[in-house]
Every structure is written in C-alpha cells, then in structure tokens.
Amino acid sequence: MRSSRPSAAVALAFLAAALVLAKSPAASAQQTARTADAVEALFMGSGRLTPSDGFPACSFRNHWSGFPRGTAVTVRVSTTVSGNVRAAVQQALRQVPQATNGAIRAAFELTDDPNPMPNRNEVTLTFHPDPKSQGCPYKRGCTMHKFAKPGVIRSSRVVQPAGMPVNAYVHDVVGHGIMGMCHIDGNLIGGAGKSLMSGGPGVFSGQIAIRLTALDMAASREVYGSPLSPGASRRDFVRLRLIDASAADGNRAETAPREREGVMRWLRRLLDD
Ligand SMILES: [Zn+2]
C-alpha cells in the first residue's frame, strides 16, 4: 500500500516533465507550420489556409508579388476619399517598413485629381461611384496592378465606392496594393480579425483587421527576410523552406496532436500501473 504512493509521485513527476518536453517542441513546430501556411496563403495564394471558397484574389499564384526591394512607394490618395479612410491608410502605411524588413518604404500624398492614374512605384486610391466602369470586376471595387514582369509590381490602382467599412480600403491599398498579398481564410486562422487579408466564405470586410496583424507581419518578415525578391517562384519558396510542400496533404498539421496523444497514452499506462 505504502509503496504505491512514491510510485504515483514518480509517475506525476514524469507526467510534468513529459508534458514540458512534449509541449515546447510541438508548440514551436505548430508555430512554424502556421507561419509557413500563412506565407503560402498570403504570398502564393495556395496551401491549407488559402480561402476555402477558392478565391485567393491574387494576380499571380505561385509567384511572390511585390514592389522591387528598395522601392519607396508613393500612395497618392484622391481628395474624394474621406478623412477617416485617409487616416486609417496612413496609419497602416507606417507598418510597411517593419513588415518588409526595411525593403519597402511608403509615403502618403493627397491629390486633387478625382481619378488619379498611378505612375511607376505609385499606389493610387479614389472613391468612385461606379468601379465597374473603371475596369473592376465588382461593384465593391478592386485593386488593378501593373506588373513589370510576373510578380514584380510596377503600380497599383485602387478604385472603390464610398461608404464601405474602412478596413476594406486599407485591405486594398496596403494589403493588395503595396504588399501584393492574397487572401487568407478568416475561418481557418481563428477569426477574420486575425488578418488584414482575411477572406473566404462568410467573411465580410467589416470583420477583417484594419492594419497588418501579428500573423501578417510574421509571414511577411519571413518572406522579406529571405534572400529572395518579388517575382520569386513557389519552387524558390519551397527550396528555402519558406513554405512546406508537404503541408498540402495536411501531414504537418496533424503531427503535433498525434505526438501529444502518444505521450498521453504512455502516461495513462504509467499511472494505471
Ligand atoms: Zn481583397
């Protein structure tokens, strides 16, 4: 009888140690997998976090889209755009150097032009009553990129109607326009508010973040921290392990829970003994 006590205590000590040992590598592996999945969704328009409705909203899938490294982007905003939208865009612009590890800078400018056309290294934004008449496929507006070559953005023109949630304008100007990012599924990342670029079924622009989030920043800094440049291919991303080609079959996502289950089974056996 007495001997069962020390053995239970030993087992509990093992349990504590095993949980610590089991938890940290699994947690960090999950974190890595998550960043890699976010990189793949946001920068390649593919992978397990890409919107499950099949609408990643990128011009190029399988190419990293962005302005060339070292570009100082001018965001030229029409005076047709309301003050609160201007302020939100300006605020998010300040995140761009950090998000790109200093590769891209962004400055804000106002223009009287009601319908500005972007020059090289410019992103323009205007409110327009009829974005479809300007070349957008949707009434809710769009970002029209010009590319120097696949993935290398030359300019971006954002045309949107007035009266949408402020988030929608920041999403287009900063997310698509400057960062060249695709959508990520808001339901699969724990809520639309976890990304400026959330999309997918049932996600509305009022629910997404109004600035680049921790998830967006982590993914972007990973990509800009690599030796690659915009225009790089999916193969380059796989080669440098920015994304995990095997993640597509869900292997990686399932590894951690399976490991934990194994440890718990082992502990239960130990305690039962
Ligand atoms: Zn979008």
Q: What pLDDT does residue 244 have?
A: 87
Give 183 Cα–ligand 1 centroid separation in angstroms: 6
Sequence ranges of the domains in the chain = 8-27+254-272, 29-64+181-253, 66-179
Give 157 Cα–ligand 1 centroid separation in angstroms: 13
Give 206 Cα–ligand 1 centroid separation in angstroms: 12
Polymer length in residues for the chain: 273
Give 15 Cα–ligand 1 centroid separation in angstroms: 47
Give 199 Cα–ligand 1 centroid separation in angstroms: 7
Q: What pLDDT does residue 264 have?
A: 42
Comparing 10 with 80, the larger pLDDT belongs to 80
Q: What pLDDT does residue 33 have?
A: 61
Q: What pLDDT does residue 28 have?
A: 62
**Coil, helix or strand at residue 159:** strand
pLDDT tens string 218-256: 999 999 999 999 999 999 999 999 998 775 533 333 333
**Coil, helix or strand at residue 167:** helix
Predicted confidence band of residue 144 (pLDDT cuts 50, 70, 90): very high
Distance of CA 23 to the CA centre of its chain: 26
Give 57 Cα–ligand 1 centroid separation in angstroms: 6
Give 252 Cα–ligand 1 centroid separation in angstroms: 28
Q: Which residues surround ligand 1, an ion (CB under 5 A)?
A: 57
pLDDT at 37 over 70: yes
Q: What pLDDT does residue 148 have?
A: 97
Give 273 Cα–ligand 1 centroid separation in angstroms: 57
Instruction: Note the pTM of the prediction, 2 decimals.
Output: 0.80
| CATH architecture observed for domain 66-179 | 2-Layer Sandwich (3.30)
Give 271 Cα–ligand 1 centroid separation in angstroms: 52
Comparing 25 with 100, the larger pLDDT belongs to 100
pLDDT at 214 over 90: yes
Give 215 Cα–ligand 1 centroid separation in angstroms: 17
Give 196 Cα–ligand 1 centroid separation in angstroms: 9
Give 195 Cα–ligand 1 centroid separation in angstroms: 11
Give 71 Cα–ligand 1 centroid separation in angstroms: 22
Give 152 Cα–ligand 1 centroid separation in angstroms: 18
- In the predicted model, what is the mean pLDDT of the chain? 85
pLDDT tens string 178-187: 999 999 999 9
Predicted confidence band of residue 2 (pLDDT cuts 50, 70, 90): very low
CA gap 263, 16 in Å, rounded: 11
Give 132 Cα–ligand 1 centroid separation in angstroms: 16
Residue type at position 126: T
Q: What pLDDT does residue 69 have?
A: 98
Q: Any idea which residue has 């597509």 for tokens?
A: 248
Q: From residue 240, how far is each of 49, 66, 98 by CA, in Å?
A: 20, 18, 21
pLDDT at 135 over 60: yes
Give 270 Cα–ligand 1 centroid separation in angstroms: 52
CA gap 144, 139 in Å, rounded: 14
Yes or no: say if 219 and 235 are a contact pair by the CB < 8 Å rule. no
Give 26 Cα–ligand 1 centroid separation in angstroms: 33
Give 174 Cα–ligand 1 centroid separation in angstroms: 10
Q: What pLDDT does residue 159 have?
A: 98
Give 217 Cα–ligand 1 centroid separation in angstroms: 17
pLDDT tens string 248-265: 533 333 333 433 343 344
